[in-house]
Amino acid sequence: MSHSAAIVTGPGFQDHDVVYTYYRLIEEGWDVAVATKDGDPVIGKYGVPLPMDKTAKPLIAFDDLVDGEWDAVILTGGHEAPDRIRQDKRVLEFVAGMDNAGKVVAGLCHGPWIMVSAGVLRGRTACAYIGLRDDVINAGATVVDSDVIVDGNIITCSYYAYVGVFMRAVFETVEKLAA
Protein backbone atom coordinates (compact mmCIF):
# COMPACT_ATOMS: atom_id res chain seq x y z
CA MET A 1 0.00 0.00 0.00
CA SER A 2 1.42 3.34 -1.02
CA HIS A 3 1.22 6.26 1.37
CA SER A 4 1.46 10.00 0.92
CA ALA A 5 2.74 12.90 2.98
CA ALA A 6 2.84 16.66 2.70
CA ILE A 7 5.80 18.45 4.28
CA VAL A 8 4.70 21.98 5.11
CA THR A 9 7.46 24.55 5.44
CA GLY A 10 8.67 28.02 4.57
CA PRO A 11 11.65 30.37 4.51
CA GLY A 12 14.17 29.74 7.27
CA PHE A 13 13.16 26.10 7.79
CA GLN A 14 15.43 23.82 9.82
CA ASP A 15 17.40 22.22 7.01
CA HIS A 16 17.97 18.94 8.90
CA ASP A 17 14.22 18.49 9.44
CA VAL A 18 13.21 18.87 5.81
CA VAL A 19 16.14 17.00 4.26
CA TYR A 20 15.84 13.99 6.56
CA THR A 21 12.04 13.67 6.52
CA TYR A 22 11.85 14.16 2.75
CA TYR A 23 14.43 11.53 1.85
CA ARG A 24 13.17 9.02 4.47
CA LEU A 25 9.66 9.28 3.04
CA ILE A 26 11.03 8.81 -0.50
CA GLU A 27 13.14 5.85 0.68
CA GLU A 28 10.00 4.16 2.03
CA GLY A 29 8.24 4.64 -1.31
CA TRP A 30 5.86 7.37 -0.19
CA ASP A 31 4.38 10.00 -2.49
CA VAL A 32 5.79 13.24 -1.03
CA ALA A 33 4.97 16.87 -1.71
CA VAL A 34 6.67 19.87 -0.16
CA ALA A 35 4.30 22.81 0.33
CA THR A 36 5.35 26.44 0.63
CA LYS A 37 3.13 29.52 0.79
CA ASP A 38 2.72 30.00 -2.97
CA GLY A 39 4.67 26.98 -4.16
CA ASP A 40 7.70 29.20 -4.62
CA PRO A 41 11.27 28.13 -3.84
CA VAL A 42 12.53 28.90 -0.33
CA ILE A 43 15.88 28.68 1.44
CA GLY A 44 16.52 26.94 4.76
CA LYS A 45 18.18 28.37 7.82
CA TYR A 46 21.57 26.97 6.72
CA GLY A 47 21.17 27.49 2.97
CA VAL A 48 19.46 24.33 1.69
CA PRO A 49 17.21 25.28 -1.23
CA LEU A 50 13.75 23.90 -1.92
CA PRO A 51 13.27 22.17 -4.20
CA MET A 52 16.39 20.30 -3.07
CA ASP A 53 17.54 18.54 -6.22
CA LYS A 54 16.77 17.90 -9.88
CA THR A 55 14.74 14.77 -9.06
CA ALA A 56 12.36 16.62 -6.71
CA LYS A 57 8.81 17.30 -7.82
CA PRO A 58 7.84 20.98 -8.05
CA LEU A 59 6.75 22.55 -4.78
CA ILE A 60 3.03 22.89 -4.17
CA ALA A 61 1.21 25.88 -2.73
CA PHE A 62 -0.72 25.97 0.54
CA ASP A 63 -3.84 26.33 -1.65
CA ASP A 64 -3.15 22.81 -2.97
CA LEU A 65 -3.30 21.19 0.48
CA VAL A 66 -6.50 19.14 0.70
CA ASP A 67 -6.85 17.23 3.96
CA GLY A 68 -8.41 14.09 2.50
CA GLU A 69 -5.58 13.51 0.05
CA TRP A 70 -2.72 12.75 2.46
CA ASP A 71 -1.94 10.08 5.02
CA ALA A 72 0.31 12.43 6.99
CA VAL A 73 1.40 16.02 7.28
CA ILE A 74 4.92 16.74 8.52
CA LEU A 75 5.35 20.15 10.17
CA THR A 76 9.05 20.91 10.28
CA GLY A 77 10.94 23.23 12.57
CA GLY A 78 13.42 26.04 12.33
CA HIS A 79 12.13 28.89 14.46
CA GLU A 80 11.33 31.21 11.53
CA ALA A 81 9.37 28.92 9.20
CA PRO A 82 6.77 27.57 11.67
CA ASP A 83 6.18 31.03 13.11
CA ARG A 84 5.39 32.37 9.63
CA ILE A 85 3.34 29.34 8.62
CA ARG A 86 1.10 29.35 11.69
CA GLN A 87 -0.16 32.76 10.63
CA ASP A 88 -1.62 31.31 7.40
CA LYS A 89 -5.29 30.27 7.68
CA ARG A 90 -4.98 27.82 4.81
CA VAL A 91 -2.40 25.75 6.71
CA LEU A 92 -4.33 25.95 9.99
CA GLU A 93 -7.51 24.73 8.28
CA PHE A 94 -5.55 21.94 6.56
CA VAL A 95 -3.92 20.77 9.81
CA ALA A 96 -7.24 20.88 11.68
CA GLY A 97 -8.89 18.99 8.82
CA MET A 98 -6.17 16.33 8.86
CA ASP A 99 -6.70 15.89 12.59
CA ASN A 100 -10.48 15.74 12.20
CA ALA A 101 -10.03 13.08 9.49
CA GLY A 102 -7.87 11.03 11.87
CA LYS A 103 -4.80 11.43 9.66
CA VAL A 104 -1.30 11.75 11.11
CA VAL A 105 -0.33 15.27 12.12
CA ALA A 106 3.35 15.24 13.05
CA GLY A 107 5.33 18.20 14.37
CA LEU A 108 9.09 18.26 14.71
CA CYS A 109 11.02 20.69 16.97
CA HIS A 110 9.26 24.07 16.40
CA GLY A 111 6.73 22.47 14.02
CA PRO A 112 4.16 21.97 16.82
CA TRP A 113 3.74 25.76 16.90
CA ILE A 114 1.57 25.22 13.82
CA MET A 115 -0.37 22.54 15.72
CA VAL A 116 -0.88 25.02 18.60
CA SER A 117 -2.36 27.62 16.25
CA ALA A 118 -4.49 24.99 14.47
CA GLY A 119 -6.01 24.00 17.81
CA VAL A 120 -5.18 20.28 17.58
CA LEU A 121 -3.24 19.84 20.84
CA ARG A 122 -5.97 20.47 23.45
CA GLY A 123 -6.36 17.39 25.63
CA ARG A 124 -3.38 15.65 24.02
CA THR A 125 -0.11 14.42 25.47
CA ALA A 126 2.91 15.89 23.70
CA CYS A 127 6.58 16.64 24.08
CA ALA A 128 8.01 20.03 23.20
CA TYR A 129 11.21 21.82 22.44
CA ILE A 130 11.96 24.19 25.33
CA GLY A 131 11.32 27.27 23.15
CA LEU A 132 7.65 26.40 22.67
CA ARG A 133 6.94 24.28 25.75
CA ASP A 134 4.83 27.03 27.39
CA ASP A 135 2.85 27.51 24.17
CA VAL A 136 2.06 23.79 23.94
CA ILE A 137 0.96 23.75 27.60
CA ASN A 138 -1.15 26.89 27.09
CA ALA A 139 -2.75 25.21 24.06
CA GLY A 140 -4.14 22.59 26.45
CA ALA A 141 -1.66 19.74 26.00
CA THR A 142 -0.02 17.77 28.77
CA VAL A 143 3.70 18.10 28.09
CA VAL A 144 6.07 15.34 29.13
CA ASP A 145 9.84 15.16 28.74
CA SER A 146 10.46 12.76 25.87
CA ASP A 147 12.12 12.54 22.47
CA VAL A 148 8.90 11.61 20.64
CA ILE A 149 5.29 11.23 21.82
CA VAL A 150 2.50 9.55 19.86
CA ASP A 151 -1.03 10.37 21.05
CA GLY A 152 -3.45 8.77 18.60
CA ASN A 153 -2.82 10.48 15.27
CA ILE A 154 -0.80 13.35 16.82
CA ILE A 155 2.99 12.99 16.89
CA THR A 156 5.39 15.47 18.48
CA CYS A 157 9.18 15.46 18.56
CA SER A 158 11.14 17.69 20.93
CA TYR A 159 14.34 18.19 18.93
CA TYR A 160 15.63 17.49 15.43
CA ALA A 161 18.34 15.12 16.70
CA TYR A 162 15.48 12.65 17.34
CA VAL A 163 14.21 12.77 13.75
CA GLY A 164 14.99 9.06 13.19
CA VAL A 165 12.72 8.01 16.06
CA PHE A 166 10.18 10.60 14.86
CA MET A 167 10.03 9.15 11.35
CA ARG A 168 9.71 5.58 12.65
CA ALA A 169 6.74 6.81 14.71
CA VAL A 170 5.19 8.42 11.61
CA PHE A 171 5.53 5.21 9.57
CA GLU A 172 4.23 2.99 12.37
CA THR A 173 1.28 5.27 13.17
CA VAL A 174 0.16 5.59 9.55
CA GLU A 175 0.29 1.79 9.19
CA LYS A 176 -1.65 1.31 12.43
CA LEU A 177 -4.33 3.81 11.42
CA ALA A 178 -4.63 2.24 7.94
CA ALA A 179 -5.19 -1.26 9.36
Provide the annotated active-site residues.
109-110
> Could you give the angle at which helices 15-27 and 163-178 cross, rounded to 10 degrees?
40
Whole-number Cα distances in Å, 149 to 63, 82, 116, 120: 29, 19, 15, 14
Report the C-alpha gap between 6 and 73 in whole angstroms: 5
Please say whether the beta carbons of 74 and 21 come within 8 A: yes
Using DSSP's 3-state secondary structure scheme, residue 77 falls into coil
Report the C-alpha gap between 44 and 60 in whole angstroms: 17
Q: Is 79 exposed, middle or buried (0-12, 13-18, 19+ CB in 10 A)?
A: middle
Query: Amino acid letter at 70?
Result: W
| DSSP-derived secondary structure letter, 29 | T
